[in-house]
Structures are given as structure tokens and as C-alpha cells.
Amino acid sequence: MTARRAQLFERLAKRDQVALHKLARTARTLDEELGRIDGLITQLEEIKAEKTASGHQSASQLRSDAWYLQQIEEQLGTMRNRKSFLETDKGDVRRRMIELEHRKTRAEDHARAARAQDRDEREDKQAALIPLRNRQAG
């Protein structure tokens, strides 16, 4: 019966290992996306700095620059919100990975214990089959 328990815990550990691989892939994707968003934010901030550092302009150029700056600000806000969301999501994924790793370790420990118990029971059964005088002599 303990062999079945050991197999069950081994399967649970393998299931958790597969889930860990999937979460690791998700975490890598989130890291890549966060890097891309950081690059876009940097570019937008550079463009914004260039637009605000303009010299003498006509009224139409001022209106045009104001409109572009407004668009840039909207995009910056969107990117910052997306970055915040992804960082929160990344934290959730990391926390879930830690929980799965802990659960996998516990399942592996239980499987090892069940295997050891099964081995001990078999050894005790074998020892019980050996006649008493052979045990005393050996």
C-alpha cells in the first residue's frame, strides 16, 4: 500500500514540476515585456524632452507641440499603468512559483518516506521468515 502512496506523491511532484516550468516560461515572458515597456517609456520621455526644449515658435507650432505633448503624456500614462500591472502580475507569478516549489518538495519528501517505509516493511517481513536459530548464528 505504501508503494501506491509513494507513486501518488511522485506523480504530485511531477505535476508540480510541470506547473513550475509553465510559470517560469510566463515569468520570462513578463520580464521581456517589462523590458520592452521600460524601453518605450525611456523613448517617450526623450521625445517629450525634445518637444519641450523647442525655441521660438509660431502659434500653430505651439498648438501642434501641445497636442503632441498631450499624446505623449497619454502614452506615458498608459505605459506606466501597464508596467505597474505587469509588475504586480510578475510578483503573483513568483509567489505562485515559490508555493509550487515548496509543495513539490513536500511531495518528494513524502514519496521518499513512503518508499523507506515500504523498504523497512519488506526487510522486516524477510527477517521474520528467517528461522530463529539462523538469526542468532548470523
Domain residue spans of the chain: 2-137
pLDDT 10s digits, 20-57: 999 999 999 999 999 999 999 999 999 888 877 666 67
Nearest C-alpha neighbor of 85 from the set 22, 19, 33:
33
Q: 2-137: what CATH class? A: mainly alpha
Query: In the numeric block, which cell numbers belong to residue 73?
Result: 503624456
Question: In terms of residues, how long is the chain?
Answer: 138
- Judge if pTM exceeds 0.75: no
